[in-house]
């Protein structure tokens, strides 16, 4: 039984490079140009054409860029039909292209300098610490662990556990458990569950359990099988966690406000999961009302969706979500999801992008799952969670692009290693 795995891109701590850490920190600085954008995204947009001219285009990069152009074109058509404000339209149409360019440029950089990947990823995570300390957002001021320190700690921890020497399962399990407890106490359940689920995936792929099931998953239609598995596991977790958080077992260890929030959401008719991400209920209705072209970039609520959403929340007994719903304040159609947000904004084009993109990522992951370190297992769980339950704003656009670039580059390294080995 294998108890640990070293990354195919493995370095010693002494091999960390200050310049590359600084590059990651600078790239992860957010600025305002038309809308929110990261310096790394600007650099990626400028560099991509030159990088592509000098090398053969990676098939995965070409696939993502083609999909992004398709989504961007669909968004443009949607904005024309919906007469979307020009500034909003520019941001909506450019978002897929910026996302694809960041993946492409960053992957090429990681592919060319694989030993520098951990340094740059560490710099990206460190920037979030600096932001929370010196320029916190309102969310970070009120919940600094959930929106700042916790995310940064997770990023640094995953780099440490994944890209240096191989770590034992005991050390990994203790680190993940400690992080889980900290997040539960800080009212950050999704942040607690994602690394726990990613660690479970790591253990599954790197031990000898369920060999036949692994062969089945990595066979034909692997992404569809993973999708079915995710749906089944999510349903089971929703049922189990709803019962757990409604039981009051954690009450002695939680602040009264946190305990009340957990209990109220767990007692909702739709269960804990949808009570915490209730925007999905109205997003689906908004998409069905305009399934082909959507409602335009930053879809404005012109048909009373917010009022219907408010009534639905009161009916389900989860009205506390109204206090935290940014979409309500901005008079946008609630769409707290990569997939549902794209469907609401651009209709079919956005949906096709995220489905095809996610299947491509899962297919790549499955090919090398038994050799990937913890970073990528947690990252895939995070992507699948956010696909349904997080908005695709500037922060997500940047973070997901860096993760996908690292995954593609690491898989390329593994592919070359397999090809060059005598056994191959």
HSE value, Cβ hemisphere, 13 Å, CA-based, for 422: 0
Q: How many percent of the chain have pLDDT more than 70?
A: 88
Q: Which of 245-254, 378-387, 403-412 has the lowest mean pLDDT?
A: 245-254
Return d(Cα 225, Cα 220) in angstroms, integer: 9
Predicted pLDDT of residue 168: 84
Indicate the pLDDT class of residue 366, thresholds 50, 70 and 90.
Answer: very high
Closest of 163, 183, 185, 161 to residue 171, by C-alpha: 161
Name the token pair of 54: 């000098």
Question: Residue 31 in 3-state DSSP?
Answer: strand
Predicted pLDDT of residue 165: 77
pTM of the predicted protein model: 0.90
Return d(Cα 414, Cα 351) in angstroms, integer: 31
Indicate the pLDDT class of residue 1, thresholds 50, 70 and 90.
Answer: very low
Tens of pLDDT, residue by residue over 189-240, are 889 999 999 999 999 999 888 889 999 999 988 999 998 988 888 788 778 7
Asked whether the CA dihedral 127, 128, 129, 131 is positive or negative, the reply is positive
Indicate the pLDDT class of residue 151, thresholds 50, 70 and 90.
Answer: very high
Tens of pLDDT, residue by residue over 74-117, are 999 999 999 999 999 999 999 999 999 999 999 999 999 999 99
Average pLDDT of the chain is 87
Residues 6 or more apart whose CB falls under 8 angstroms from that of 278 comprise 270, 309, 312, 313, 316, 318, 321
Tens of pLDDT, residue by residue over 155-184, are 999 999 999 877 788 899 999 999 999 998
Residue 419 has pLDDT above 90, yes or no: no
Residue 421 has pLDDT above 60, yes or no: no
Residues 6 or more apart whose CB falls under 8 angstroms from that of 417 comprise 8
Predicted pLDDT of residue 152: 94
């Amino acid at each position: 039984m294998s108890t640990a795995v070293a990354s195919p891109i493995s370095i010693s701590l002494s091999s960390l490079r200050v310049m590359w850490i600084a590059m990651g920190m600078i790239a992860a600085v957010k600025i305002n140009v038309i809308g929110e954008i990261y310096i790394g995204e600007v650099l990626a947009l400028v560099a991509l054409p030159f990088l592509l001219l000098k090398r053969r285009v990676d098939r995965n990069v070409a696939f993502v860029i083609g999909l992004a152009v398709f989504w961007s074109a669909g968004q443009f058509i949607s904005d024309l039909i919906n007469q979307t404000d020009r500034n909003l339209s520019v941001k909506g149409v450019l978002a897929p292209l910026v996302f694809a360019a960041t993946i492409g440029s960053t992957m090429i950089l990681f592919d060319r300098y694989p030993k520098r990947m951990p340094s740059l990823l560490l710099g990206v995570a460190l920037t979030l610490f600096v932001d929370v300390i010196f320029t916190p957002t309102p969310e970070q001021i009120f919940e600094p662990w959930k929106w700042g320190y916790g995310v940064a700690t997770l990023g640094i921890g995953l780099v440490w556990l994944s890209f240096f020497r191989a770590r034992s399962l005991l050390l990994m399990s203790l680190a993940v458990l400690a992080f889980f407890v900290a997040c539960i106490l800080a009212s950050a359940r999704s942040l607690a569950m994602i690394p726990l689920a990613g660690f479970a995936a790591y253990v599954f792929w790197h031990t000898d359990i369920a060999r036949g099931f692994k062969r089945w998953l990595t066979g034909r239609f692997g992404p569809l099988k993973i999708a079915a598995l995710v749906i089944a596991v999510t349903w089971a977790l929703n049922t189990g966690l709803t019962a757990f958080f409604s039981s009051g077992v954690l009450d002695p260890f939680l602040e009264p406000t946190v305990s009340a929030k957990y209990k109220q959401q767990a007692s909702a008719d739709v269960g804990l999961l949808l009570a915490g991400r209730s925007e999905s209920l109205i997003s689906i209705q908004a998409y069905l009302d305009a399934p082909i072209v959507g409602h335009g970039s930053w879809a404005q609520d012109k048909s009373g969706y917010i009022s219907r959403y408010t009534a639905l929340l009161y009916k389900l007994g989860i009205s506390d979500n109204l206090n935290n719903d940014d979409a309500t304040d901005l008079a946008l159609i609630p769409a707290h999801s990569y997939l549902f947000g794209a469907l609401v904004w651009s209709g079919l084009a956005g949906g096709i992008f995220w489905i095809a993109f996610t299947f491509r990522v899962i297919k790549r992951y499955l090919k090398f799952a038994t050799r990937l370190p913890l970073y990528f297992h947690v990252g895939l769980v995070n992507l699948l969670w956010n696909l349904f339950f997080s908005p695709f704003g500037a922060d997500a656009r940047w973070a997901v692009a860096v993760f996908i670039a690292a995954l593609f580059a690491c898989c390329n390294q593994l592919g070359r290693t397999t090809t060059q080995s005598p056994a191959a």
